[in-house]
Structure 1
Amino acid sequence: MGKASVIVYITIAVLLLLLISQSPNKGNKHRRHRRLKLRSNFTFSPPADGHLHHHDRIHFDPIVADIERKREDKEWEKMYIETHHPELKSSEEHAPGEQAQPEWEDFIDAEDYLNDEEKFNVTNRLVMLFPKIDIDPPDGYVSERELTQWNLEQSRRDVLHRTEREMETHDKNRDGFVSFAEYEPPTWVQKSESNSVGYDMGWWKEEHFNASDMDGDGLLNITEFNDFLHPADSTNPKLLLWLCKEEIRERDSDKDGKVNFNEFFHGLFDLVRNYDEEGHNTSHHSDDSGSTPARKLFDELDKDGDGFLSDVELLPIIEKLHPSERYYAKQQADYIIQQADSDKDGRLTLSEMIDSPYVFYSAIFNEDEESDYEEYHDEFR
């Protein structure tokens, strides 16, 4: 960033802070009615559909993300002990005095930190973060593309942190790799029957592991293990093809190894349409004539014209069947711009961001106080 851009940012920031400090009612309008509250994304529960889609809201502010990661680590540690080492939990319950206090309470004051303006002032945070987002180009505006990239970086940091935590758990010999023998499926998979969605979809089988093993050495390094846990975000062609095979296996109701039009129409087409046209009318048309959008897409995908879709032929739409972190980062960026872009030019100035601060921090609002703030939104909780 050039010296001129830095000077402009500093000048704008100083002026805005001076104006806010001289107008206490305006500067405190939102904070007077809102208490920021941390919420963890952590869960030990299986995904509802057996897919490892990630729909958690993305933290805008790295400070908030770091606090929540630490709290999530404590929750994870507690749940892991209860699930895998119940004997440690029993001994902990009978421990005397301060030894019996759970470690995750160390972060009980984090919300006080967030709600102390001397320590965490939302306006100051936006002033500080703005030039970190406005980088391509640094022109005094945050575009949808820049905000999407910012959200994506925050999301990837969270995902990698969880992967590193899982890696530490499964890497039994501490060599920096996970073998298939070392990997233990989640408890909910282990307890499932053989016809459950976890086994039927093959998420925890050796085929999935081998597809994630990019270099074919029989071990997963941190990048490969991250792909294993989050295949929708991988660029590994073997893993993407494996995802396609899993879709064929799931949607192939007559078990002929391929997907015909009816199987496509009643299973996959809605996922594609949901991706392309959020909020569409999901009513089905009973006919399968060539004039329907589903038939048109099916014919485009059916490259060999045999009337069936193979795993390879699903590759062009696999990212729509399994949305990546970039998809959700863009979705959140679009929402933020829609809410904060007062002049409707499709981009955000620092002033617009400061005028709508809780669009960026709404994910950690305490919803019990919603009645005091008419413009409150909590879309990405």
Structure 2
Amino acid sequence: SCDYKNTFSAVYKPFVFCFCFFLYSYRSRIVDKIDGDGDGQVTKAELSTWISHTRRRHTTNEARKRFKDYDQKGKGGITWSDYVQSTQALDVNSPDSTPSPTSVIGRRLAREGRRFKAADSDGDGIITAAEFTAFIYPDDFFHMAEITLEETIEDLDKNKDGFVEEEEYISDLRGSSGLDLAAEKREREIFREDRDVDRDGKLSLEELRQWVLPPPNYDFALAETNHLIRETDQDKDGKLTKPEILQSWNVFVGSQATNYGHDLTAKHDEL
């Protein structure tokens, strides 16, 4: 009879070993890049700088690729008409092709039109590649803050009364992250104790502003850095060694330090 276990071990174990070695080597190179001065210690400043670099690289590259899809004539800028024509195959100058404001497409275009106008920082009616980055990543730009707030209200305020009630808040979280009972209980506590400042059972525009929009000069990269160090710094010296990072790699995969894991499939020279 055939010994399947021994056969599997003999044939596949070398491949498993090679794969694990490759994975370790690739992760190790990422850590080496984070460690800017190469001293074997990743400091808070180095990690924060790397996270900022990773985020900026991702948004810039993604915006550049998508911008080319809309700027098909290579003009270096796109008008609102160009955008609508590319995404919906509609002519905004033709009354016959204008969708109803209450239709799905009509509501989407109204929303995207507001965002387009806000992203057009010089108001010339043309969005450049740099302005297009703000259009598709409004959360990253301070001048897009009000649009971010407005879109959040649109998404959460299902009964359109201008407020976000507790059930609307919880319903959105259920849909986006799949809350279990314990998590839902905790989120309800957060809503009542932290979000709903005046304790009236709903979030006003100002309460939403405090929740959705970061305070001036808020450093997202530094906040993420503090979280990662808190979770992975085993000897609590305020720095991270390569072993500490590699042993807690799952934490890094879910963070901006690896672009939420996307850098694990990127080419080495793209990092």
**Smaller-chain TM-score range?**
0.5 to 0.7
Equivalent of 1:33 in 17, 42, 60: 17
SS at match of 1:35: helix
Shift of 1:343: 2.9
Does structure 1 residue 315 correspond to structure 2 residue 214? no
Does the CA-based 8 Å contact 2:149-2:208 persist in structure 1?
yes
For residues 282 and 349 of structure 1, the distance between their equivalents in structure 2, rounded to whole angstroms, comes to: 33
Query: 1:129 maps to which residue?
Result: 33
Shift of 1:225: 0.5
For residues 155 and 187 of structure 1, the distance between their equivalents in structure 2, rounded to whole angstroms, comes to: 26
> What is the number of residues matched between the two proteins?
227
For residues 242 and 189 of structure 1, the distance between their equivalents in structure 2, rounded to whole angstroms, comes to: 25
The code of the aligned residue for 2:184 comes to S
For residues 206 and 333 of structure 1, the distance between their equivalents in structure 2, rounded to whole angstroms, comes to: 36
**Per the alignment, do residues 233 and 254 of structure 1 end up closer, same or farther by CA in structure 2, a change over 3 Å counting?**
same
Equivalent of 2:155 in 223, 244, 250: 250
Shift of 1:241: 0.9
Equivalent of 2:122 in 194, 210, 215: 215
Unaligned stretches of 5+ in structure 1? 1-30, 37-113, 364-378
Does structure 1 residue 148 correspond to structure 2 residue 87? no
What does 1:234-249 align with in structure 2 at a 5 Å threshold?
A: 234-236=141-143, 239-249=144-154
**Per the alignment, do residues 206 and 123 of structure 1 end up closer, same or farther by CA in structure 2, a change over 3 Å counting?**
closer
Shift of 1:306: 12
Does the CA-based 8 Å contact 2:78-2:126 persist in structure 1?
yes
Query: 1:343 maps to which residue?
Result: 235
Tell me how large the CA RMSD over aligned residues is.
5.2
Does the CA-based 8 Å contact 2:35-2:41 persist in structure 1?
no
The code of the aligned residue for 1:241 comes to E
For residues 85 and 223 of structure 2, the distance between their equivalents in structure 1, rounded to whole angstroms, comes to: 28
Does structure 1 residue 176 correspond to structure 2 residue 76? yes
For residues 157 and 253 of structure 1, the distance between their equivalents in structure 2, rounded to whole angstroms, comes to: 35
SS at match of 2:204: coil
Shift of 1:163: 0.9
Shift of 1:186: 7.6
Report which of the two has the higher share of helix. 2
Query: 2:249 maps to which residue?
Result: 359
The code of the aligned residue for 2:150 comes to K
Unaligned stretches of 5+ in structure 2? 1-14, 91-99, 254-259, 263-271
For residues 155 and 343 of structure 1, the distance between their equivalents in structure 2, rounded to whole angstroms, comes to: 28
Does the CA-based 8 Å contact 1:342-1:352 persist in structure 2?
yes
**Per the alignment, do residues 185 and 150 of structure 1 end up closer, same or farther by CA in structure 2, a change over 3 Å counting?**
farther
For residues 84 and 166 of structure 2, the distance between their equivalents in structure 1, rounded to whole angstroms, comes to: 37
Equivalent of 1:281 in 182, 190, 193: 182
Could you tell me the TM-score, scaled by structure 2's length? Answer: 0.59
CA deviation profile, 1:219-242 (whole Å, cap 9, x unmatched):
112221001011121221xx2211
**Per the alignment, do residues 294 and 215 of structure 1 end up closer, same or farther by CA in structure 2, a change over 3 Å counting?**
same
What does 1:71-90 align with in structure 2 at a 5 Å threshold?
A: none
**Per the alignment, do residues 154 and 319 of structure 1 end up closer, same or farther by CA in structure 2, a change over 3 Å counting?**
same
Percent identity over paired residues = 21
**Per the alignment, do residues 123 and 145 of structure 1 end up closer, same or farther by CA in structure 2, a change over 3 Å counting?**
same
Could you tell me the TM-score, scaled by structure 1's length? Answer: 0.44
Equivalent of 1:259 in 147, 163, 177: 163
What does 1:14-33 align with in structure 2 at a 5 Å threshold?
A: 33=17
For residues 308 and 249 of structure 1, the distance between their equivalents in structure 2, rounded to whole angstroms, comes to: 13
**Per the alignment, do residues 350 and 283 of structure 1 end up closer, same or farther by CA in structure 2, a change over 3 Å counting?**
closer
Does the CA-based 8 Å contact 1:201-1:249 persist in structure 2?
no
Does the CA-based 8 Å contact 2:119-2:135 persist in structure 1?
yes
